[in-house]
Amino acid sequence: MMTPQDASKHTEEICRLAPVIPVLVVTDAAHAQPLATALVAGGLPALEVTLRTPAALDVIHEMAQVEGGVVGAGTLLTPADVEAAKKAGALFGVSPGATDRLLDACAANDLPLLPGSATASEAMRLLERGFTVQKFFPAEANGGAKALKAIGAPIPQVRFCPTGGVSLSNARDYLRLDNTLCVGGSWVAPRDLVLAGDWDGITKLAQEASELEA
């Protein structure tokens, strides 16, 4: 069984692969492999497929076949979600918040988790369980980079991946923070480009994101 400390180590390695983790809502599994290929080619290997569509598990399965990609499952809410994601081929999980049942399920299934926290108390509770890498969500609604900086001052042990309202225009505000490893965002795979099959366009957006620096 994976310990929270081991999980956080693996999660940190994934978060350090690139400055941006694409947050993907994919409705058609046929788009999975070309989308993942385009993002990886642009320098974004860590991919979060949210479990918000009926196709999500098939999408994870297909993306797991793409060389160079590290595919995870987002929007994990229940132990059943964790088991299904792991079976589909997810290498890590992401959750909007955290419950004991969810944390225990990820440990039992050896699935590294990026658990969500929005307040100092939530960050401290996860830290007590050994999670030193967390998702700050929803980032902009919770005060943005200024709030995350303020949380980081008394809790320097925790590093974050802020997600929710993060875009190309404000990503650097987060990446400048000492307690930010990377950001999560959907702007690198806009729905219109995915539906149009404009994989070159998505690769260009990924390249732009991969070059973001503090």
- Which residues are identified as catalytic? 48, 135
What is the enclosing helix (H) or strand (E) of 135?
A: strand 133-136
CB 182 within 8 A of CB 18: yes
Three-class SS string for 25-46? Answer: CCCCHHHHHHHHHHHHHCCCCE
Q: Are 210 and 21 in contact (CB under 8 A)?
A: no
d(CA 90, CA 149): 31
Residue (of 76, 59, 54) closest to 24 by Cα position: 59
Cα–Cα distance for residue pair 49/104, rounded to 1 Å:
21
3-state secondary structure 71-130: EEEECCCCHHHHHHHHHHCCCEEECCCCCHHHHHHHHHCCCCEECEECCHHHHHHHHHCC
Contact 62, 29 (CB under 8 A): yes
